[in-house]
């Protein structure tokens, strides 16, 4: 079973590239173009992973991450900030808001999927009785 990934990204080109790469590797991608719709979609679908841009319309990614951590349905869902915010302190600010990972834009198409895979829950093995 492939993972469901919620991509909260307002830039159409960034959304297209990330979706293309993830779907090519067998993941199902849901997309939201702003923080408010991202929160709503996360609560209704409870994805396996959330990829979150920081610079979003309506509410910034830090506020979205804090909101995701407050909702019982998404409290434990891994959040990876995927952002061009790469100034000193931005990484720490993302982690303080509730993100589990941080990837700088522009993303590298050769390494992007491998970078986010480490945040996905490990699938359980059927019949494993260890």
- The Cα 67–Cα 57 span in angstroms is 15
Whole-structure pTM value: 0.92
Strands 4-8 and 28-32: what pairing?
A: parallel
Instruction: Locate the domains of the chain by residue range.
Output: 4-117
> Chain centroid to CA 91: how far?
15
Among 108, 114, 98, 111, CA closest to 50: 98
CATH T-level fold of 4-117:
Rossmann fold (3.40.50)
Average pLDDT over residues 110-128: 79
User: Which of 6-10, 19-23, 86-90 shows the lowest mean pLDDT across its residues?
Assistant: 86-90
Reduced to 3 states, what is the DSSP secondary structure of residue 30?
strand
Instruction: Give the mean pLDDT of the chain.
Output: 92
């Amino acid at each position: 079973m492939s993972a469901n990934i919620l991509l909260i990204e307002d830039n159409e080109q960034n959304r297209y590239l990330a979706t293309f790469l993830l779907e090519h590797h067998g993941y199902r991608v849901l997309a939201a173009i702003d923080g408010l719709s991202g929160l709503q979609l996360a609560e209704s679908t409870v994805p396996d992973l959330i990829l979150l841009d920081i610079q979003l319309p309506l509410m910034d990614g830090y506020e979205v991450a804090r909101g995701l951590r407050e909702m019982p349905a998404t409290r434990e869902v891994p959040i990876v900030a995927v952002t061009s915010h790469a100034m000193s302190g931005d990484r720490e600010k993302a982690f303080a808001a509730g993100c589990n990972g941080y990837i700088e834009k522009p993303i590298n198409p050769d390494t992007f999927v491998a970078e986010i895979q480490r945040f996905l829950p490990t699938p359980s093995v059927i019949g494993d009785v260890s």
